[in-house]
Amino acid sequence: MIFKSLAEIATITMGQSPESKYCNYISKGKPLLNGPTEFGDFHPKPVQYCTSGNRVSNKGDILFCVRGSTTGRMNWADQEYVLGRGLASIRHIAGEDFNHFLRYLIDYHLDSILKMTGGSTFPNLTRDNLNAYKLFLPKESSQLSINKFLRNIDSKIELNNRINVELEAMAKTLYDYWFVQFDFPMSKAYAEKIGKPELAGKPYKSSGGKMIYNTELKREIPEGWEVKALGDWIEKEKAGDWGKESNQGNYQTLVSCIRGTDINGLHGKGNFNPPTRYILEKNQNKLLQANDIVIEISGGSPTQSTGRMAYFTESIFERVSNQLICSNFCKAISLKEHRQFFYFAYAWNMLYDNDILFGWEGKTSGIKNLLFDSFIKHYFLPQPPDIILERFNAFVTPIEAAIQKNLKQNDQLASLRDWLLPMLMNGQVSVNEAHDKAVKKAEEKINIAAEGAGEYGKKEYD
């Protein structure tokens, strides 16, 4: 092990906010990053651009937050970025092939690094803070092997995320095609009814399917479709519960509690790490089940409405080890019919994404609350025929199962990586030993050895 300062192994570029006259939202110039609000799972998603800025990251650099409550958060630069004041870029002086090692070396020491932040109200790290930080690290050949090992794990996680984006896009496209444009496949019975059997299986609206104006929705919908308030679809509601932090008295039932902040992570839009709690045994009727839908009814922000939603499939329960419950800032609902499940869930998400729920909020003591009862009573959806709902469910179910399978594998890979990281960084194990430990743990604990041996086989690291 070698003892060095961060300045001896890394080049650090601190960001600087460019003048506003050089900034724009029309993709002119280089993308500008101001902080972690633009961060994704691996790479940023810029919303602003800059035509002048001399603090720039290179492709492959580590993007590191240096100011505020998010100090220490990291992302990867997938292209050149102009760096705002809240960010720094960090790269290994030996080149990009060592950057994964460096990123996880920093992560391993992050708690100690954050203790150097100055400013009690607005903590920040300076370049001098970072450069002066001293750490032990393995010799350069070991750094390269560790880098390769960690990069391959991250690459597999990133690949799974890209696959999930494509799968989700397929399902959303079908929802839009069938239930927004109304170009679902025309049934044989309807095609024969209108005297055009040759149109069976053709898209309904664009092939001449009859549309009827609906006064509730103030738009046309296919002939024969009903319209119902959201509340008419719901069979029952389950209140949330927060329970106790430890088992005490009658609080003996161990659960993982889904909060608003966990909703996105359930479907792969961030981390998923719900807290464990203990609830009263008599409250087990609040436990979540497959085909339940959880809605955040309190919280939000000025730019984010309440009403975030997560839907629970069998494959989600295969991803977690504990029974699930939602917190008391959320509400769980069950629908009257399972065939309505994905249609209702995708319709709700469309309303949320289109900012409809901002118009159904009230405030109590400064906290925004979704006016849930009023919303489900007064907001209407078209109800497709059962056969269309069943066909949509049949299409989406395997897609959702595949997405959750990938997310489960990502959880397992990240857990392995985090378990091995301290041993790699302090020289306790070599990469080959780490691989052997990973395979053994996989075989014993999480059953991904079969795929892992092909993807991360020992031969690659010899």
pLDDT of residue 256: 95
Taking only the tens of pLDDT, the chain with its 462 residues reads 789 999 999 999 999 999 999 999 999 999 999 988 899 889 999 999 999 888 999 999 999 999 988 899 999 999 999 999 999 999 999 999 999 999 999 999 999 999 888 655 677 899 999 999 999 888 888 899 999 999 999 999 999 999 999 999 999 999 999 999 999 998 888 788 777 888 888 999 999 888 999 999 999 999 989 999 999 999 999 999 999 999 999 999 999 999 998 998 888 887 788 999 999 999 999 999 999 999 999 988 888 899 999 999 999 998 888 999 999 999 999 999 999 999 999 999 999 999 999 999 998 777 899 999 999 999 999 999 998 999 999 999 999 999 999 999 999 999 999 998 998 888 887 778 777 776 676 556 544 333 433 343 333 322
Q: Which residues pair with 4 in a beta bridge?
A: 135
Q: With DSSP H G I counted as helix, E B as strand and the rest as coil, what are the percentages for the chain, rounded to 5? A: 45, 25, 30
| Strands 30-33, 81-83: pairing kind | parallel
Decide: helix, strand or coil at residue 200. coil
Gap between the terminal Cα atoms of the chain: 21
Q: Where would I find the beta strands (DSSP E) of 281-408?
A: 292-296, 298-299, 309-311, 323-326, 330-335, 361-364, 367-370, 380-383
Give the Cα separation of 438 and 206 in Å (integer).
54
Residues in contact with 345: Cβ distance below 8 Å, sequence separation at least 6, in sequence order: 293, 309, 311
**CATH class belonging to 231-377:** alpha beta
Please calculate the CA angle 54-56-62 and round it to the nearest 5 degrees. 155
Give the Cα separation of 241 and 304 in Å (integer).
23
Half-sphere exposure of 286 (CA within 13 A, CB side): 24
Q: Is there a shared CATH topology between the 2-137 domain and the 231-377 domain?
A: yes
Give the Cα separation of 204 and 211 in Å (integer).
10
pLDDT of residue 442: 57
DSSP state of 319: T
- Identify whether the C-beta of residue 435 lies closer than 8 Å to the C-beta of residue 456: yes
pLDDT of residue 194: 73
- Identify whether the C-beta of residue 372 lies closer than 8 Å to the C-beta of residue 231: no
Give the Cα separation of 436 and 430 in Å (integer).
10
Give the Cα separation of 440 and 460 in Å (integer).
17
Give the Cα separation of 2 and 141 in Å (integer).
12
pLDDT of residue 458: 33
Give the Cα separation of 242 and 355 in Å (integer).
28
Give the Cα separation of 17 and 83 in Å (integer).
7
The domain locations on the chain are 2-137, 146-163+403-461, 231-377
Q: Is the dihedral of CA 31, 37, 40, 41 positive or negative?
A: positive
Give the Å distances, CA to CA, from 396 to 52, 169, 227, 287, 372.
Answer: 46, 11, 23, 24, 27
Rounded to the nearest 10 degrees, how much is the dihedral formed by the CA atoms of 347, 213, 379, 207? 0
Give the Cα separation of 403 and 163 in Å (integer).
8
- pTM value is 0.85
Give the Cα separation of 409 and 442 in Å (integer).
11
Residue 113 has φ and ψ, to the nearest 5°, of -65, -40
Residue 374, token pair as written in the block = 């009023």
Please tell me the CATH code under which domain 2-137 is placed.
3.90.220.20
**Amino acid letter at 108?**
Y
pLDDT of residue 116: 85
Q: Which residues pair with 367 in a beta bridge?
A: 364
Q: Where would I find the beta strands (DSSP E) of 116-263?
A: 134-137, 211-214, 219-222, 226-229, 234-239, 251-258
pLDDT of residue 309: 95
- Identify whether the C-beta of residue 237 lies closer than 8 Å to the C-beta of residue 332: yes
Rg (CA), the chain: 26
| Strands 23-24, 56-57: pairing kind | unpaired
pLDDT of residue 454: 37
**Overall residue count recorded for the chain in this entry:** 462
pLDDT of residue 444: 60
